[in-house]
Amino acid sequence: MISDWQPLLLTFKLASFTTCILIIVGVPFAWWLSSSSLRIRPAIEAIVSLPLVLPPSVLGFYLLIAFSPENFFGRWLDQNIGLHLAFSFKGLVIASVIYSFPFLVQPVQSAFKSLPRSLTEASQVLGNGKVRTFLCVQLPNIKPALLAGTVMAFAHTVGEFGVVLMIGGNIPGQTRLASIAIYDEVEALNYQTANFYALVLVVISFLILLSLYIVNRQDK
Amino acid sequence: MNKLFGRICEIDSNSHLSLVNVLSGNQVFTATLLEIPESAPYLKINNDVTLLFKETEVSIAKDFRGTISLSNRFPAIVNGMERGKILSCVYLQHQNNEIVSVITTASLDRLAVRNGDAVEGFIKANEIILMEGRWAE
Amino acid sequence: MIQAQVKKSLKGQQGDFVLDISINIQQGEMVAIFGPSGTGKTTFLRCLAGLEQPENGMISVFGKVWFDPIKKTNLKPQERKVGYVFQDYALFPNMTVKRNLEFALPANNNRNRVNELMELMDIVDLENRKPDTLSGGQKQKVALARALVAQPQILLLDEPFSALDNETRCNLQDEIIRLQKIFGITCVLVSHDVSEVYKLAQKVFVLDNGKIKESGEPAKVFSHGMTSGKFRFTGELLEIENLDVLFSLTVLVGNQIAKVAVMPSEAKSLKAGDRLLLVSKAFNPMVVKL
């Protein structure tokens, strides 16, 4: 057996980073979307949901162009912050965050929306500010949706291919994720290695989803 | 319920009870109330009130002689009847008002009431409720 | 004294209307806002709590201005000292009964208040239960206790008993009367139930299409002027039956069944489910010691 665990480890590292950032950014964003009465909200919602419908290669293509040092944004990042996003792990993280954003934001947003308004109001009337109400009342009561969103975002990042191929390429140890490694090995007719990676992904993804459904069932 | 419109013409009261006379047309009705002008401001001479009383509390007599404790005694003409097995309705014309009496069918037969008969109606004073103003449907 | 003038345009089922009322409430008084649904009762309560903003008006509570558009004053709900019992109780599902109460404690307050209230309301046994496991009546008790934790200046009750069965409703109404006696708290009750208003409130404002149609003592407002009928109850009509030339009405009064005989002309306009006022003279009932 060939046991190069590196692509697998890299995949899970990417998924963990992405999920952490998503929770920090996506949950407050979903809360804001659910309570906002801004006119442009539908436009924002549409943009957030774009990755759900676009072929991943489209997103990867535009991100690659944006990150390229030849263009304004990429050059700006390079010169001011010293970030090279194209063909780097950091670039993969950012692309994955964007790509998996709707998978977390959508369930969390709709859970916030379906919370009875009276819960929030009761907390306010009892003297609690927005932050305490968010942390102690709203967030704990959308736990199932938050859990589902987190797991889906994680699993989705594990499974992505098009975006990471476009933006990361195939640099071992940096951007060579499991999904890309499988493709690569198949191209090279190393079916055994491909099967190893594929099998591990199947088993782990299954276990993640299984635990999600078990936890959600216990909650009810 | 029977409703008669009238005007308070006399009030007599002790610490809790009042005896109120109400002029309706040219007939005086008397009601005993468990309230007094101090606690019920509508109890004032010349105030408009509506007298309310149940049909079942209106008694009928024909060719009645002698005295009776009931305070309210008024002449009327029988204007119609509705006969039931146990109870019957008698429609009485009193001045410009119709007053309905519900009595037992046995009494109706005993009195041999006919349409157009002149009878007398009786109501106990403590069965009359006074309502401020005119009854609005 | 609490002075509340509230003006606000509302969308109703039968078109738009303007809620435009002015109410004064004395300290320690229990007043009821009565009327059919969709007449702005709850909106008025929400304006008092600061959950909605009137377009115009003025709210001042015991000398402190809560809302005054001229002075650009509009205190947030957190800054108004109100207890609010929501129609759906709004207990936090993620917290135990005790945590629900503690969550209402102001930062520097001692925890004894929570224990005292739980004892007073007889919900100590429930302290570790989650709201989902409670019955409607228990939820209502917890919601009431929680509303009282922060020692509010006004207690606002939004149709507090509408989802409860008759017996529980009666018990909780007694509970409110008891609590109000203990704390002397000023209460505003929104209700569409005559008997409830009758039982709880010292003063009632009858709201119709956003305006106050009538106000005064419930006994007076709901007696249709028949104040000399001292034996007076409200009930719900359960059944109408024909008896000879009369009709018999079966009426649920509190949790007791009463029967009343009426004329056909009176029965004609009634149907099961109607709310009725039963009036008789103080002289009629016979009394037997139980």
Q: Give pLDDT tens digits for A7-66.
A: 888 889 999 999 999 999 999 999 999 888 888 888 999 998 888 888 888 888 888 888
Interface membership of B133 toward C (CB under 8 Å): yes
Interface membership of C48 toward A (CB under 8 Å): no
CATH of domain C2-221: 3.40.50.300
What class has domain B2-132?
mainly beta
> Is the confidence at residue A166, as pLDDT, over 80?
yes
CA–CA dist C72, A35 (Å, integer): 25
Contacts of A126 (CB under 8 A, 6+ apart): C103, C104, C146, C149, C150
* Residues C120-130 pLDDT 10s: 888 999 999 99
Q: Any contact of A with C, at least 3 CB pairs below 8 A?
A: yes
- Closest C-alpha among B115, B40, A89, A169 to residue C230: B40
CA–CA dist A86, A175 (Å, integer): 10
Chain C closest CA to A22's CA: distance in Å? 24
Contacts of A126 in chain C (CB under 8 A): 103-104, 146, 149-150
Contacts of C261 in chain B (CB under 8 A): 56
The reply to whether residue C230 touches residue B35, judged by beta carbons under 8 angstroms, is: yes
> Is the confidence at residue A1, as pLDDT, over 50?
no
Total number of domains constituting chain A: 1
CA–CA dist C66, C51 (Å, integer): 12
Which residue among C51, C106, C150 sits closest to A121, beta carbon to beta carbon? C51
The reply to whether residue A119 touches residue C76, judged by beta carbons under 8 angstroms, is: no
The reply to whether residue C78 touches residue A136, judged by beta carbons under 8 angstroms, is: no
Chain C closest CA to A129's CA: distance in Å? 7
The reply to whether residue C84 touches residue A140, judged by beta carbons under 8 angstroms, is: no
Three-class SS of residue C218? helix
What 3 state SS string does chain B have? Answer: CEEEEEEEEEEEECCCCEEEEEEECCEEEEEEECCCCCCCCCCCCCCEEEEEECHHHEEEECCCCCCCCCCEEEEEEEEEEEECCCEEEEEEEECCEEEEEEEEHHHHHHHCCCCCCEEEEEECHHHCEEEECCCCC
| CB of B42 closer than 8 Å to CB of B58 | no
Chain C closest CA to A134's CA: distance in Å? 12
The reply to whether residue C150 touches residue A136, judged by beta carbons under 8 angstroms, is: no
Strand partners, C233: C278
The reply to whether residue C84 touches residue A125, judged by beta carbons under 8 angstroms, is: yes
> Is the confidence at residue C111, as pLDDT, over 50?
yes
The reply to whether residue B1 touches residue C283, judged by beta carbons under 8 angstroms, is: no
- What is the CATH number for A66? 1.10.3720.10
**Phi and psi torsions of A116, nearest 5°:** -60, 135
Interface membership of C133 toward A (CB under 8 Å): no
CA–CA dist A87, A42 (Å, integer): 33
Contacts of C77 in chain A (CB under 8 A): 121, 124-125
Chain C closest CA to B75's CA: distance in Å? 23
The answer as to whether A1 is a domain residue is no
- pLDDT for residue A3: 57
How many residues in total does chain C contain? 290
Q: Chain-wide mean pLDDT for chain C?
A: 88
CA–CA dist A56, A39 (Å, integer): 29
Q: Any contact of A with B, at least 3 CB pairs below 8 A?
A: no
Which residue among A123, A126, A143 sits closest to C150, beta carbon to beta carbon? A126
What average pLDDT does range B35-62 have in this prediction? 90
CA–CA dist A136, B31 (Å, integer): 65
Burial class (CB in 10 A: 0-12, 13-18, 19+), A217: exposed
**Which CATH number is correct for C231-280, 3.40.30.10, 3.40.50.11390, 2.40.50.100, 3.30.450.20?**
2.40.50.100
- pLDDT for residue A219: 60
Q: Full-prediction pTM beyond 0.80?
A: no
Q: Tell me the domain boundaries of chain B.
A: 2-132
Contacts of C263 in chain B (CB under 8 A): 1, 55, 89, 100, 102
Q: Tell me the domain boundaries of chain C.
A: 2-221, 231-280
ipTM of the complex in this document: 0.80
Q: Spell out where C35-164 has E strands.
A: 56-61, 64-68, 73-74, 82-85, 154-158
Chain B interface disruption, residue of C213, C224, C228, most B CBs within 10 A: C228
| Chain C residue closest in CA terms to A122 | C90
In this structure, are strands C186-191 and C154-158 parallel, antiparallel, or unpaired? parallel
Residues A132, A137, A140, CA angle at the centre, nearest 5°? 115
Interface membership of B86 toward C (CB under 8 Å): yes
Measured CA distances, C175 to A81, B101, C134, C285 (Å): 66, 45, 18, 29
* Residues C61-105 pLDDT 10s: 998 999 999 998 899 999 998 999 999 999 999 999 999 999 988
The reply to whether residue A143 touches residue C92, judged by beta carbons under 8 angstroms, is: no
* Residues C81-92 pLDDT 10s: 899 999 999 999
DSSP state of C127: T
> Is the confidence at residue B79, as pLDDT, over 60?
yes
Structural domain boundaries, residue A85? 7-219
Dihedral over Cα of A68, A71, A77, A79: its sign: positive
Interface membership of C266 toward B (CB under 8 Å): yes
Contacts of C224 in chain B (CB under 8 A): 131
- pLDDT for residue B136: 62
* Residues C12-27 pLDDT 10s: 777 889 999 999 999 9
Chain B closest CA to C248's CA: distance in Å? 13
* Residues C113-163 pLDDT 10s: 899 889 988 899 999 999 999 998 999 999 999 999 988 999 999 998 887
C128 C-beta neighbours (distance < 10 Å), count: 9
What average pLDDT does range C202-211 have in this prediction? 91
Chains meeting C at 3+ CB pairs closer than 8 A? A, B
Contacts of B133 in chain C (CB under 8 A): 225
Residue percentage of chain C with pLDDT more than 70: 99
Residue A220 — very low, low, confident or very high, per pLDDT cuts 50/70/90? low
Chains meeting A at 3+ CB pairs closer than 8 A? C
Chain C closest CA to A120's CA: distance in Å? 9
Interface membership of B109 toward C (CB under 8 Å): no
Q: Give alpha helix (H) positions in C52-105.
A: 97-102
